[in-house]
Amino acid sequence: MHGAWILRSVEVVVDGRPGLLVLKGEDLSAAYPGMVRYTLEFRRGEDVLYTYRTNTYEYPPGTSQTAESVALTAFHRLRQELPDRPEAFVLHPPEPAVGPLPLRAPSTAVVLQGSPRQHGNSAILAGWTTDACRDAGLRCETLCPAEMRIEECTGCFRCYNAGRCVIDDDMVAIYRTLAAVGLVIVCTPVYAETVPAALKAVIDRCQAYRARRLLTGGESGRQAGILCAVSGQVGAENFVCVSRVAGSFFRLIGAEMLGEVLVDGADAVNDIRTVAGKEEGVRAELRALISRVAD
Ligand SMILES: Cc1cc2nc3c(=O)[nH]c(=O)nc-3n(C[C@H](O)[C@H](O)[C@H](O)COP(=O)(O)O)c2cc1C
């Protein structure tokens, strides 16, 4: 974040006691080009009694309003109406912005199993991955987005107001897990060159996780990422898009991509365990990558 400035500031007397109504702007261009967040606060001393936030990316090209016009309207409305009916605004404590991410537990991992098929090849890869994590002394949890209640991102950009997503669903648990673990492993099939829809929804919704990281000044502790993918067709080119999507995901959450384990040609064999030497080879690749985290 680069800077903040006061747009408006006025003393308002509420219930016979003076307080300060302040509208400030903040440059969030570190998050997106030209992004500005406006925060309107009514406070008495250190006590913040009312907060309203909006940012420039909430207003798509076809809307008649701008973030600044909305923020200024809110400022003028509060200035007029606060003294007469404070209960309409300060009745409930304002929603606080999210705090910094918790301290990571380096010896923990999460596997995001991206296939909707719970007995498919990605689930097999997830099992081998979990074994490798445990052998390396990492506590490992597996999450299956297709079995969770995860809405798609609506692109509202409101996560850049207070660092949290406005949708209340199972992403809350995923955000909590991502914030806590030292290693994130994506096990996924290739679907139309990319990842299945439920996993893609998780990745898109991590926009809110990125917002929290940026608004609260980063994370505490390193995090590594590994991609483990299986394609139906034969050839390394089947993973080009999935690799890029996984890279984008790891950048969103601030994880350093350690490497990839790619298994192609699954459709001709149905079960990758039937390919001679495949299981041993994949397990060895996973062990080698995961040992770099456990060291
Ligand atoms: C909707 C759908 C789209 C797919 N698209 C591709 C693709 O673009 N490229 C590819 O190599 N395989 C593709 N496949 C094949 C799967 O990647 C393959 O069957 C894989 O083994 C499935 O993994 P799973 O058993 O973990 O579900 C697709 C499969 C489905 C169901």
Q: Is 147 in the pocket of ligand 1 (CB under 6 A)?
A: no
CA angle at residue 175 from 173 to 176, to 5 degrees?
65
The model's pLDDT over 14-31, given as tens digits with 9 standing for 90+, comes to 989 999 999 999 999 999
Closest residue to atom 22 of ligand 1, CA basis: 189
205 in any annotated domain: yes
Same domain for 155 and 125:
yes
Give 119's contacts (C-beta < 8 A, 6+ positions apart).
Answer: none
- The answer to whether 38 touches 24, Cβ cutoff 8 Å, is yes
**Does one domain contain both 279 and 147?**
yes
Ligand 1 pocket test: pick from 191, 200, 227, 269 the residue with the most ligand atoms within 8 Å of its Cβ: 191
pLDDT in tens, 96-113: 778 877 778 889 999 999
Closest atom of ligand 1 to 264 CA is 11
Residue 137 lies in a domain: yes
Encode pLDDT of 38-62 as tens digits.
999 999 988 888 999 999 999 999 9
Residues 52 and 116 in one domain: no
67, 135: one domain: no
What band does 259 get if pLDDT is binned at 50, 70 and 90?
very high
Reduce the DSSP state of residue 292 to 3 states and report it. helix
Residues 128 and 86 in one domain: no
User: Does residue 99 fall inside a structural domain?
Assistant: no
Q: Are strands 181-189 and 256-263 parallel, antiparallel or unpaired?
A: unpaired
Ligand 1 contact, 208 CB (< 6 A): no
Indicate whether 92 pLDDT > 70. no
Question: What is the per-residue pLDDT across 225-258, written as a single tens digit (0 to 9) for each?
Answer: 999 999 999 999 999 999 999 999 999 999 999 9
Statement to judge: residues 34 and 75 lie in one domain: yes
Element (H, E) at 198: helix 197-205
Picking from 209, 248, 250, the residue whose alpha carbon sits closest to that of residue 226 is 250
pLDDT for 115 beyond 70 = yes
Whether 223 maps to a domain, the answer reads yes
Rounded to the nearest integer, the mean pLDDT of the chain is 94
Check if 196 has its Cβ closer than 6 Å to any atom of ligand 1: no
Q: Check whether residue 233 and residue 283 sit in a common domain.
A: yes
Among 90, 116, 134, give the residue marking a domain's end. 90
Cα dihedral 76/19/35/153 (nearest 10):
-90
Q: How many A from CA of 141 to the centre of ligand 1?
A: 24
Answer yes or no: do 160 and 272 share one domain: yes
**pLDDT tens-digit series, residues 149-208:** 999 999 999 999 999 999 999 999 999 999 999 999 999 999 999 999 999 999 999 999
Q: Please check whether residues 84 and 114 belong to one and the same domain.
A: no
Considering the domain boundaries, does residue 135 fall inside one? yes
pLDDT of the residue at 90:
77
The reply to whether 219 falls in a domain is: yes
Name beta bridge partners: 183.
109, 224
Distance 233 CA to ligand 1 centre (A): 8
- What are the residues facing 184 on neighbouring strands? 110, 225
Span from the CA of 232 to the centroid of ligand 1 (angstroms):
5
**What is the pLDDT, as a whole number, of residue 103?**
78
Do 259 and 114 lie in a common domain?
A: yes
Question: Does 260 map to a domain?
Answer: yes
In a domain, 97, yes or no: no
One domain for residues 23 and 157: no
**Which of 65, 90, 115 is at the close of a domain?**
90
Cα of first residue to Cα of last residue in the chain, in angstroms, is: 34
Question: In the listed set 56, 90, 124, which residue is the last one of a domain according to the structure?
Answer: 90
What is the rounded CA–CA span in Å between residue 170 and residue 151?
9
What is the residue whose two structure tokens read 């929804």?
A: 201
The CATH number linked to 209 is 3.40.50.360
Residue 74 domain boundaries: 3-90
Supply the pLDDT for residue 97.
74
Q: Is the pLDDT reported for residue 1 higher than 70? A: no
Instruction: Give the chain's domain count.
Output: 2
The pTM assigned to this predicted structure is 0.94
- 144 shares its domain with 227: yes
> What are 175's two structure tokens?
């955000």
pLDDT at 93: 66
Residue 78 pLDDT > 90: yes
* Inter-CA distances, 63 with 32, 56, 66, 121, 188, Å: 19, 11, 8, 46, 38
